[in-house]
Structure 1
Amino acid sequence: MIEGAQDRPRATDASTLGGANFRYYDFVMAAFVAILLLSNVIGAGKVAVVNLPVIGDWPFGAGILFFPVSYVIGDVLTEVYGYARARRVIWAGFAAVVFMAFMAWVVVKLPPAPDWKNQAAYEVIFGQVPRIVFASVCAFWAGEFVNSFVLARMKIWTGGRHLWTRTIGSTIAGQAVDSAIFYPLAFWGAEGWTNALVVKVLFTQWALKVGWEVLLTPVTYAVVGFLKRREGIDVFDRDTDFTPFRARV
């Protein structure tokens, strides 16, 4: 915790924080990485369907239910702790997803015991993970950095006011990049996926993710307000080096 933190957060330039320690930064990082990993393993490969009035059945990727929470947490990280610390978390998530892909590949390839009958089911669940994770890593890396950059810059433009404009605005940009990279890389030409379905799900996912961000805006306000009060700061990235190619704060 920064010494002298009060209930009222003080405006602080990110370049002055140095190696400051925070109460909740590690917990937010852990939540971000956990949601990222679970969304990639459990939800990314399944197409579900929802029945919309007038339109009828409309397909969507099942991961949409929880993955956008990682973008909300990404917004919270940048808004509360600044771009540099959000960048560090993005690289931690990147490393975790790469290791998950490697672990899944090794475990699937290990020869099963003669009396173990679940290899086929295991391969169905985890066998497609490398391609999906490769697409997810590329999309996540680009989308998260776009999201964080846009939010940090908009915070300067708005003088720290109107949080909803930058959380939603950054999500529109970041999720557009994420979806435009992920779905073609993950599913173009894949069995059961027509090109038309890929495009349809891509735009549906983008719209739903942005919609989720809008719906979760009150939650974002509550979490950001709580963390700023407890940490005692309100970080502005006025002199920040926005290169994504570093993990040091």
Structure 2
Amino acid sequence: MNNTPSTEALNWRREKVFLLLAGFFLCAMTLLNVIGITRFIQLGPMALAVGVLPYPLTFLCTDLVSELYGKKRANFMVTVGLIMNLFVIAILWLGSLAPSVGAESMPPWQQLNLSSDVILPDGTVVAGTIELYQLIFACTSGAVVASMLAYMAAQYCDVYLFHFWKRLTRGKHLWLRNNLSTLVSQGVDSFTVITVTFGAAYLAGGISLNQLLVLMGSNYLFKMVVALADTLPLYAAVHYLRRYLHIKDDTHIAL
């Protein structure tokens, strides 16, 4: 019995898998920008912004798309993610410009009373009362801009290095191109996003150099551990998806 699907069914199967990978990629990016640095958590020796937790998934998705669909499709997905970043910034900015409702209609949680002066990530010193949205905007807008800059550098770097190592090893050693491309690109991402996000706060005295270095180190250590841990899932996914999508070894789906 011939188990090979028809051309139409196979194309639909391939597009569904790409949509799933792109969906996870964009969802992780959106979570990073929405929850960003609104909370820091302690994972062993690492102090992490909660928005960082889903971010390593983006590199796994990028590597899978690079391996199965090629460089052009991977770069296209990264570019769509960049457009989503710009969209998030635009919505945050418009929300900050819109006038608040009157005091009689204002819900009790819309304004916060601060017991002491607070230096926000953008270096602004806030005293007394601040609107909840403005606090969130100050905490996330700078992080989104930093994320966008780091995103452009890291994701395009990841796609380029993945295919560079693939050419150099003649399509062999998937673990090598996966780990080398991800470890380098995540280093670029970690140091860029922390520097841009907290640079103003550091100059204003709101965060010390030691705290800045701890954030950088923790950010990269977490991403490095996850990058190394995703090698086996990557191999399993590539093995299964090549069979499911009928892709021969060392080739990818032509656009």
- Report the TM-score, using the length of structure 2 for normalisation: 0.77
Matched-pair identity in %: 25
The CA deviation at 1:235 is 5.8
Q: How far apart are 1:88 and its partner, in Å?
A: 0.3
Match of 2:220 among 179, 200, 206: 206
Counterparts of 1:30-69 in structure 2 under 5 Å?
A: 30-52=23-45, 58-69=46-57
User: What runs of 5+ residues in structure 1 fail to find an aligned partner?
Assistant: 7-20, 53-57, 238-248
SS in 2 for 1:128: helix
- CA deviations 1:134-182 (Å, max 9, x no partner) are 1111100110111111111212222333222211111111011111211
2:190 alignment partner, SS class: helix
- 1:188 equivalent in alignment to 2:199: yes
Unaligned runs of 5+ in 2: 111-130
Does the Cα contact within 8 Å between 1:60 and 1:205 map onto a contact in 2? yes
Report the CA distance between 1:116 and its aligned residue: 2.3
Decide whether aligned partners of structure 1 residues 101 and 93 sit closer, same or farther in structure 2, where only a CA change above 3 A counts.
Answer: same
Partner of 2:113: none
Letter paired with 2:35: I
Deviations 1:28-83 (A, max 9, x none): 1122111101112113453322344xxxxx42332332111111111111111111
Q: Larger radius of gyration, structure 1 or 2?
A: 2
Runs of 4+ in 1 over 6 A off after TM superposition: none
Does residue 163 of structure 2 align to residue 152 of structure 1?
yes
CA distance in 2, matches of 1:229, 1:112: 55
Tell me: CA distance 1:231–1:44, structure 2 relative to 1, closer, same or farther (3 Å).
Answer: farther
Secondary structure of the structure 2 residue equivalent to 1:189: helix
- 2:123 counterpart of 1:109: no
RCO higher in structure (CA 8 A, sep ≥6): 1
Partners of 1:143 and 1:175 within 8 A in 2 = yes
Give the SS at the match of 1:49: strand
Aligned length: 220
Q: TM-score, normalised by structure 1?
A: 0.78
